[in-house]
């Protein structure tokens, strides 16, 4: 993978595995023991079976491409990155810049809070976001 020439994009990294069985187990975990669920990004942006509408609508307003990783795929593509997960990064010039850290996720419980946090971080870097339709 040649990351050096890739366009700037926003990388969302779930602290979860990919696949149907992993998704089912994650949904059950959110119901049975939400306080011990390991992926705050997933807990905030997904309901039991699908992405929350408010989050999906906001993503569509972005003036930057997005990429979604599960933990194993991210570790495969970025083996030297040791940032705790979940996290949101800005990928630019073959490097990752942290936008929202795992620690910052601890203070976020709702989609609108995450959107506000990301709008501010993106705006500070000159990246346009739009109004949720």
- Per-residue pLDDT of 82-123, as tens digits, reads 999 999 999 998 899 999 999 998 889 899 999 999 999 998
Looking at every residue in the chain, the average pLDDT score rounds to 80
Residue 52: half-sphere exposure toward Cβ, Cα within 13 Å: 15
Q: Do residues 44 and 56 make contact, with C-beta atoms less than 8 angstroms apart? A: no
pTM, entire model: 0.78
Q: How many angstroms separate the first and last alpha carbons of the chain? A: 35
Q: Tell me the mean pLDDT in the region 58-67.
A: 91
Q: Report pLDDT for 99.
A: 95
Please report, for residues 32, 73, 98, 131, the alpha-carbon distance to residue 69 in angstroms, rounded to integers and kept in the order given: 25, 6, 15, 25
Q: Tell me the mean pLDDT in the region 52-77.
A: 92
Q: Report pLDDT for 101.
A: 94
């Amino acid at each position: 993978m040649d990351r050096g020439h890739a366009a700037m994009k926003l990388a969302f990294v779930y602290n979860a595995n990919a696949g149907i069985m992993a998704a089912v187990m994650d949904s059950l975990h959110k119901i049975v023991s939400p306080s011990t669920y390991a992926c705050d990004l997933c807990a905030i942006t997904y309901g039991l079976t699908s992405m929350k509408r408010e989050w999906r609508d906001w993503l569509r307003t972005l003036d930057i491409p997005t990429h979604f990783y599960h933990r194993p795929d991210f570790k495969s593509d970025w083996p030297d990155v040791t940032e705790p997960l979940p996290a949101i990064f800005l990928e630019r010039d073959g490097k990752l810049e942290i936008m929202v850290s795992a620690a910052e996720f601890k203070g976020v419980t709702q989609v609108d809070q995450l959107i506000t946090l990301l709008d501010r971080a993106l705006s500070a870097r000159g990246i346009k976001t739009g109004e949720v339709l």
